[in-house]
Amino acid sequence: MTPAISLDGITKRFPGVLANDDVDLTVERGTVHALLGENGAGKTTLMNVLYGLYEPTSGRIVVDGTERSFEKPQDAIDAGIGMIHQHFMLVDSMTVAENVTLGTEPRKWGGLAIDRDQARQDVVDLCERFGLAVDPETRISELSVGVQQRTEILKTLYRGTDVLILDEPTAVLTPQEIEELLSVFELLTDQGKTIIFITHKLGEAMQAADEITVLRDGRNVGTVDAEATTREELAELMVGREVLLEVETSSYDPGAVTLSVDDLTVTNEQGIDVVSDVSFTVRRGEVFGIAGVDGNGQSELIEAITGLRRPQAGVIELGDREITDDDRRERIDQGMAHIPADRHERGVVMDFDLVENGLLGSQHAEAFVNNGRIDWKRTREHTETIIEEYDVQPPNPDASASALSGGNQQKFIVGRELARDPQLVVATHPTRGVDIGSTEFIHERLLELRAAGVGVLLVSSKLEEVRGISDRLGVMYEGEFVDTVDPEAVTEEELGLLMAGEQPAQEVSADERE
């Protein structure tokens, strides 16, 4: 049987980056094929080439036995290829039916008007055929992420897609939604559709796929049968060396409370409570981790603690001082360092050079400013120290932040924030996009601070990270703390259930440790 997709020697070169290096890939009709690899391995680039978003530098694309060249996504769509991106391509203010039919609306009155009834009927029919439950009349903004994703799938099916590409489809889903998605995969392949999905999670690839292709550094390092492979084999293919994730932690000896959050409630822009009645404390000399699926109120909670968002109710104390009404600057002055989740938006000013970025947050600090006049010489020295200590590449203080890779921006931010001599570090995804060596270095620095009696509040979507270096772990679900657990005692399964909002079993509670 002719394979549904056959990529032959695809190379994609960007200025300074070889994203795909002579990649071959064969996907059989009616199967689920996982594209597995670490961040930056070239998975998305490869799929963007297949979808016509990028033109390959060299190589051939063969669809259903016919060689094709795609200049734009529309060409790929015409060839029966559909792609669902990580960020959904949906118009929030339009309904499911409107989104599904966008661009190919059924018309009436000689094309002068959209036939809304027909559009709705089309979507209903499509849902029935593939066993998907979506209400065509609901606005996207009122749907859960899982249903939005299903709408995206409907959208591609409506356009007659045979090959469905999904980019990290599970990143934003709860475990239950992931289950549902995987059963949708089955329904679709039963009807003869072919699915390629991008993931960096081993377990998922093994569970859902028939075949798994592993990419590393832009190269295909092996295609394996999902039934026949093992986790160990896949992990080695992905990383290329033995993975060591155990972090040495010194003895746990917490001191006085440095951050206390009491009954905190935070609302979002729409006035909906996204954090409800959350209470916890962080002590000196401990790492308090917060785990949870992204979007369960973690970012709003952190924004409220760091002074970037005003809470609706509750009390926040830093050391002995109530800081609920303090603004951001006062919190910085009180010794709160913050590694923000969104480094492009907050952590660095992209068009400032590193010297100017080194001053961010310290522009009132006596160390760098005399009577409102900035001491650029001292700021430069400070910046050079950060660059050296954290191995920021390129080591040029005059380079603008936008010229640095994401990982290097992150290292710079971590360096600047930890140099504040803080009593509390609020770290959100501190190692996102950072290579393994630097990840280890950042973890070590956080643990050094812990040993020196600094409190660390850590939020990360990487379970290994929060489990690995936290002393206590709070699990958030829909804006509430489901439980606080001992990260060493809790199993991955128990954590998964907690993250999905299941009420805790009593024995894993970490409170006894205090």
Which parts of 128-167 interact with other proteins (CB under 8 A)? 140-141, 155, 159, 167
Pick the binder of other proteins from 14, 179, 230, 385 (CB under 8 A).
14
Contact call for residues 195 and 32 (beta carbons, < 8 A): yes
- Tokens coding 30: 């009616």
**Which of 30, 73, 335, 504 touches other proteins by CB under 8 A?**
73
CA-wise closest residue to 41 among 205, 159, 252 = 205
Strand, helix or coil for residue 82: strand
Q: In this complex, which beta carbon is closest to other proteins, that of residue 81 or of residue 482?
A: 81
Per-residue mark of binding to other proteins, 450-489 (x: CB under 8 A): ----------------------------------------
Q: Which is nearer to other proteins, 190 or 325 (CB)?
A: 325
Shortest Cβ 358–other proteins spacing (Å): 11
43 part of the interface to other proteins, by CB under 8 A: yes
Identified binder of other proteins from the candidate list 1, 373, 506, 512, rule CB under 8 A: 373
Residue 359 neighbours by CB under 8 Å, 6+ apart: 368, 374, 379
Choice from 221, 369, 399, 436 touching other proteins (CB under 8 A): 369
The count of residues interacting with other proteins (CB under 8 A) is 82
381 part of the interface to other proteins, by CB under 8 A: no
Between residues 410 and 470, which has the closer beta carbon with respect to other proteins? Answer: 410
Q: What are phi and psi of 392, to 5 degrees?
A: -80, 130
Could you count the other beta carbons within 10 Å of the beta carbon of residue 69? 10
Tokens representing 397 are 């203080």
Alpha-carbon distance of 111 to 104, in angstroms, equals 11
Stretch that binds other proteins, among 222-230, 235-243, 272-280, 335-343 (CB under 8 A): 335-343
Q: Does 363 bind other proteins (CB under 8 A)?
A: yes
Kindly tell me which residue out of 4, 7, 34, 45 binds other proteins, with binding defined by CB under 8 A.
Answer: 45
Q: What is the largest CA-CA distance in the chain?
A: 78
Q: Whose CA is closest to 235, among 202, 212, 206, 204? A: 202
**Residue 56 or residue 487: which is nearer to other proteins going by CB?**
56
Give yes or no for residue 308 binding other proteins (CB under 8 A): yes
The 10 Å Cβ neighbour count of residue 92 is 12
CA distance linking residue 67 with residue 494, whole number of Å: 49
Amino acid in position 442: I
Among positions 239, 315, 349, 463, the unique one binding other proteins when judged by CB under 8 A: 349
Spell 350-375 as b/e; 16+ CB within 10 A means b.
eeebbbbbbbbbbeeeeebbeeeeee
- Asked if 398 touches other proteins (CB under 8 A), the answer is no
Which range touches other proteins (CB under 8 A), out of 15-23, 25-33, 125-133, 435-443?
Answer: 15-23
Residues 268-287 binding other proteins (CB under 8 A) are 269-270
Integer angstrom CA distances of residue 250 from 293, 368, 446, 448: 28, 35, 12, 9
- Residue 502 CB, nearest approach to other proteins (Å): 27
80-119 residues near other proteins, rule: CB under 8 A: 83, 85, 87, 89-94, 98-99, 102-105, 107, 111-114, 116
Q: How far is the CB of 113 from other proteins (least distance, A)?
A: 5
